[in-house]
């Protein structure tokens, strides 16, 4: 069922009619996810902004990387937990549950990633993402070396930094606009 309510507290209705490429993208989302994520609907008042957002998101979260898609979602959840971003915790928490097949992992990352059963690589990655979120100006070479010591390449470190940076930005936009998550996310993979 299509959601007709505005996805944020702002009165920014979607362009109507949507351009054909945007309509096709939304149809793919509906087919694969069973919904069009509200973040996309929120940006659809300005197709150039939507295209910029989806271009960066798709590159960071879906393109080939030394980080798995699950690891990138884990970063999204940890950053969003620190920032208390309701939208991203719900949406990306559901993605972690689905990709990992472990609802406990998703819940732990939402509440406090330090209690999650993580390997050394994941722990170092999430520690770095957390540091970027709370104290990025304090990051030094030894912090990057800690990532290298558990097997991350410099390109992987770039990807960790960019995923964490992206979610720090989107968390702030979502919180500032009272973006609401799609209700369907709440019940997924539980």
Q: Are 77 and 181 in contact (CB under 8 A)?
A: no
Predicted confidence band of residue 182 (pLDDT cuts 50, 70, 90): confident
pLDDT by residue (tens digit) across 68-97? 999 999 999 999 999 999 999 999 999 999
**Six-digit token string for 44:** 């659809």
In this prediction, what percent of the chain has a pLDDT beyond 70? 95
The hierarchical CATH code for the domain 20-62 is 1.20.5.810
Question: Does 1 have pLDDT greater than 50?
Answer: no
In this prediction, what percent of the chain has a pLDDT beyond 90? 90
pLDDT by residue (tens digit) across 6-53? 999 999 999 999 999 999 999 999 999 999 999 999 999 999 999 999
pTM > 0.85: yes
Q: Please determine, looking at this structure, whether the domain spanning 69-187 carries the CATH number 1.20.1290.10.
A: yes
Q: What residues does each domain of the chain span?
A: 20-62, 69-187
User: Apex CA 172: angle with CA 125 and CA 124, to 5°?
Assistant: 5
Q: Are 42 and 181 in contact (CB under 8 A)?
A: no
| Alpha-carbon gap, residue 49 to 47, rounded angstroms | 5
| Alpha-carbon gap, residue 88 to 77, rounded angstroms | 7
Beta-carbon contacts of residue 79 (< 8 Å; ≥ 6 apart): 88, 129, 130, 132, 133, 164, 167, 168, 171
Question: Does 173 have pLDDT greater than 70?
Answer: yes
Q: Per the omega criterion (within 30 degrees of 0), is the bond before 17 cis?
A: yes
Mean pLDDT computed over 131-159: 98
Question: Does 62 have pLDDT greater than 90?
Answer: yes
Q: Are 167 and 75 in contact (CB under 8 A)?
A: yes
């Amino acid at each position: 069922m299509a959601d007709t309510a505005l996805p944020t507290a702002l009165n920014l209705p979607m362009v109507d009619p949507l351009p054909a490429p945007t309509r096709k993208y939304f149809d793919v989302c509906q087919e694969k996810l069973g919904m069009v994520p509200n973040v996309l609907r929120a940006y659809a008042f300005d197709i150039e902004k939507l295209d910029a957002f989806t271009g960066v998101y798709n590159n960071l979260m879906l393109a080939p990387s030394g980080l798995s898609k699950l690891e990138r979602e884990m970063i999204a959840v940890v950053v969003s937990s620190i920032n208390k971003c309701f939208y991203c915790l719900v949406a990306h928490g559901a993605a972690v549950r689905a990709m990992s097949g472990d609802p406990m992992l998703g819940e732990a990352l939402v509440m406090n990633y330090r209690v999650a059963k993580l390997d050394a690589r994941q722990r170092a990655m999430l520690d770095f993402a957390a540091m970027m979120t709370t104290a990025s100006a304090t990051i030094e070479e030894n912090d990057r070396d800690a990532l290298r010591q558990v097997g991350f390449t410099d390109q992987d470190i770039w990807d960790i930094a960019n995923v964490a940076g992206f979610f720090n930005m989107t968390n702030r936009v979502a919180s500032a606009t009272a973006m609401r998550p799609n209700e369907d996310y709440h019940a997924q993979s539980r």
